[in-house]
């Protein structure tokens, strides 16, 4: 079986861990420091944050105080909508580095598609060429957003971080990204907690003697993309990565597909 250290190679050869730790809605300072420290000690090596989360300072403290060398942590942040534009993005990146107490990022993303995304992307390309970030990408970009960006970009996005879970599996987007060598990363992989109400997942949990979260994250793993579950509860943080000692059958993968429905988060075309 595989393990937590397994990664996917981005187009430029940089490895990104298959399972990461999300920090959305975890408060700054002590709460996020404790959660990220627990995650790192449990074996997570991908830590995901964003300027809008308001917890970069605490995330940076946890990474800095960890016994794990900085170069072994895959640290991600994102430029927020109001920070977009060429000069604004360069300033936002610099501010994120300061809060995160680091001199580089492993991945920097445009948080949502906006009319100024082209200029924002040019700023990300500059940061990448300068060696300030090891990989660049986007978040919440649908196919038509990616198509527009691909028409003008010099460097193709290496990652698209999107809402992706059993209810919203994004097959067409995953196929498009595979064609263009863009790694898909799933936020909200546990349906923001709604997965726990699904009777099918309760049944599968009993069948495989695994938690619903473990079944769901194993589903993500077998689909071949990156997933970044979030929790602030130590026991759940540790349990969420215990997914490498079993495999979901093809039959049950197809059963999970029957949960397909609508997205839970905001529609990328309607964000402002």
Percent of the chain with pLDDT over 90: 96
Q: Distance between CA 123 and CA 92 in Å, rounded?
A: 11
User: What mean pLDDT, rounded, does the chain reach?
Assistant: 96
Residue 117 binned pLDDT confidence (cut-offs 50, 70, 90): confident
| pLDDT at 116 exceeding the cut of 90 | no
Statement: residue 58 has pLDDT above 50: yes
pLDDT (average), residues 160-175? 97
The pLDDT, as a whole number, for residue 2 is 46
pLDDT at res. 168: 97
The pTM score is 0.96
Clarify whether 221 is annotated catalytic. Answer: no
What SS3 string covers the chain?
A: CCCCCCEEECCCCCEEECECEECCCCCCCHHHHHHHHHHHHHCCCEEECCHHHCCHHHHHHHHHHCCCCHHHCEEEEEECHHHCCHHHHHHHHHHHHHHHCCCCECEEEECCCCCCHHHHHHHHHHHHHCCCECCEEEECCCHHHHHHHHHHCCCCCCEEEEECECCECCHHHHHHHHHCCCEEEEECCCHHHHHHHCHHHHHHHHHHCCCHHHHHHHHHHHHCCEECCCCCCHHHHHHCCCCCCCCCCHHHHHHHHHHCCCCCCCCCCCCC
CB of 82 closer than 8 Å to CB of 92: no
Residue in the block written with tokens 């730790």: 21
- The pLDDT assigned to 115 comes to 83
Residue 186 has pLDDT above 50, yes or no: yes
Evaluate if residue 4 carries a pLDDT over 70: no
Stretch 120-140: mean pLDDT: 98
Q: Bridge partners of 186?
A: 162, 227
Domain boundaries of the chain, sorted by first residue: 7-259
Per-residue pLDDT band at 94 (split at 50, 70, 90): very high
Please give the average per-residue pLDDT across 190-211, as a whole number: 97
pLDDT value, residue 1: 36
Question: Tens digits of per-residue pLDDT, 61-91?
Answer: 999 999 999 999 999 999 999 999 999 999 9
CATH of 7-259, one of 3.30.70.260, 3.20.20.100, 3.40.430.10, 3.10.150.10: 3.20.20.100
155: pLDDT confidence band, cut at 50, 70 and 90?
Answer: very high
């Amino acid at each position: 079986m595989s393990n937590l250290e397994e990664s996917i190679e981005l187009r430029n050869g940089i490895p990104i861990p298959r399972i990461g730790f999300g920090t959305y809605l975890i408060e700054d300072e002590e709460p996020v420091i404790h959660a990220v420290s627990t995650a790192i000690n449990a074996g997570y090596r991908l830590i995901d944050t964003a300027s809008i989360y308001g917890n970069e300072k605490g995330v940076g403290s946890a990474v800095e105080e960890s016994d794990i060398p900085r170069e072994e942590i895959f640290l991600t942040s994102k430029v927020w909508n109001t920070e977009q534009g060429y000069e604004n993005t360069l300033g936002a990146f610099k501010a994120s580095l300061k809060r995160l107490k680091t001199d580089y990022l492993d991945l920097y993303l445009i948080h949502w598609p906006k009319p100024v995304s082209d200029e924002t992307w040019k700023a990300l390309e500059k940061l990448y060429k300068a060696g300030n970030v090891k990989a660049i990408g986007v978040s919440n970009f649908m196919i038509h957003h990616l198509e527009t960006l691909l028409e003008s970009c010099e460097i193709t996005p290496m990652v698209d971080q999107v809402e992706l879970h059993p209810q919203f599996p994004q097959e067409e987007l995953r196929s498009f990204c595979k064609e263009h060598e863009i790694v898909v990363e799933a936020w909200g992989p546990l349906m923001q907690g709604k997965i726990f109400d699904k009777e099918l997942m309760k049944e599968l949990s009993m069948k495989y003697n695994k938690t619903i979260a473990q079944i769901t994250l194993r589903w993500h793993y077998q689909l071949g993309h990156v997933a970044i579950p979030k929790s602030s509860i130590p026991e759940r943080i540790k349990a969420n990565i215990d997914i490498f000692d079993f495999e979901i059958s093809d039959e049950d993968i197809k059963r999970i597909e029957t949960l397909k429905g609508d997205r839970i988060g905001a529609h990328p075309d309607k964000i402002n």
